[in-house]
Amino acid sequence: MHMIEAIDLKKHYSSGLLHKHLTTAVDGVSFFIERGETLGLIGESGCGKTTVGRMLLRLIEPTSGKIFFEGIDIMSLNRTELRRIRPRMQMIFQDPESSLNPRMKIGDCIAEPLRLGLNGKLGKKQTRERVMELIEIVGLNPEHFNRYPHQMSGGQNQRAVLARILAIKPDFIVADEPTASLDVSVQAQILNLIQKLKKEQELTLLFISHDHEVVQHMSDRVAIMDKGRIIETLKWRDFAAKVLASETSLPKIKNDILSGPGSKAKETIKGIWRRPGTKPVQ
C-alpha cells in the first residue's frame, strides 16, 4: 500500500465579482509516495505546487479527486476524523515564523504537542527533558529554549519548526520550499538536517521546490509540474541526467544549463550536492 496516493486531483478557483473568472490551479494530478520515500515536486512559479501540497493535507479543499493516506480516504473524513489524523501529516512552510506562535517561547512551541499528549502524556519533567533532547537533535542550543521567534534567525526558527514537528511525530510531511527564505549558507544545513531526520525517523516527504539542485539533493523521485499538471515523474538520477542533458521541458532548467559551461547547475550537480556514496552524474 502506498503511503500517499492522489488520484486526479483538481483545484479551480473562481474570482471576480461581476464576471466570474475560473483559474485552474491544479488540473488533474495523480501520483503516489511510498513509505520512507521523498517525492520532489518541481515546476515554475504558479504551476500549482503549493496547491497540491496543501490539498493532500486538506488545508485546501480539492475541487475533485481522491487522496489516500495509508489507504484511508482523506476526502471522506469528517472534521473530527480529520483532526484525529492531522498530527500524522504535517507541513513545513517557506517562512518558519508563520508556523511558530510569536508570543510563545521556542521551548514552549516545541513542548506544546507533548503537552497536548499527541503521543501519550508526559510529566512536566519528562516534557522538559524531551524538549531539550529535540533542541539538541535539530542543532539548537539550550539557551534558545527561552527565546521568542523574533529573537532567533530564520535558520534557527526553521530548526525549531523541525523540533516541533519531531515532537508531533508525523508519518508524512509536505515541505513547501522550506529553505527558500533562508540565507544560502544556511540552506544546505537545513536541507541536510531534513535528510538526516528523514532517515532516522523514517519519514515520508513531498518536497516542493522550484530549484532543481535542491530537488535532486532531497528526492528519491521527482515529479515535474507544468501549468497544473504533472508532465513527468523520474527517479532522481534520471532527473539529474536529464537536467544535465538539458532534455527536460522545464524552461528554467534549460536556461540554467544553457547559460555556459561553468553554469552553476553543472558544477553543483557534479560536486557539492552530490549525495554521499553515489557517483557524480556524467
Q: What is the rounded CA–CA span in Å between residue 117 and residue 135?
A: 19
**Amino acid identity, residue 118?**
L
Is 216 near Mg ion (CB under 5 A)?
Answer: no
Which one of 4, 38, 49, 182 is in contact with ligand ATP (CB under 6 A)? 49
Q: Which class for 50: exposed (0-12), middle (13-18), buried (19 or more C-beta within 10 A)?
A: buried
Do residues 147 and 163 touch, judged by C-beta distance below 8 A? Answer: no
Question: Which of ligand ATP, Mg ion, none does 221 bind, CB closer than 5 to 8 A by kind?
Answer: none
Which one of 50, 156, 179, 219 is in contact with ligand ATP (CB under 6 A)? 50
Is 51 near Mg ion (CB under 5 A)?
Answer: no
Do residues 142 and 152 touch, judged by C-beta distance below 8 A? Answer: no
Which of 45/282 has CB closer to ligand ATP? 45
Helix axes 251-258, 236-245, angle to 10 degrees: 60
Is 181 near Mg ion (CB under 5 A)?
Answer: no
Is 50 near Mg ion (CB under 5 A)?
Answer: yes
Is 25 near ligand ATP (CB under 6 A)?
Answer: yes
- Nearest one of 217, 225, 177, 159 to 38, comparing CA atoms: 217
Is 29 near ligand ATP (CB under 6 A)?
Answer: no
Per-residue mark of binding to ligand ATP, 172-191 (x: CB under 6 A): --------------------
Paired with 222 in beta bridges are 40, 234
Q: What is the rounded CA–CA span in Å between residue 163 and residue 100?
A: 11
Is 76 near ligand ATP (CB under 6 A)?
Answer: no
Question: Which of ligand ATP, Mg ion, none does 80 bind, CB closer than 5 to 8 A by kind?
Answer: none
Q: Site residues (CB under 6 A) for ligand ATP?
A: 13, 15, 23, 25, 43, 45-51, 210
Q: Site residues (CB under 5 A) for Mg ion?
A: 50
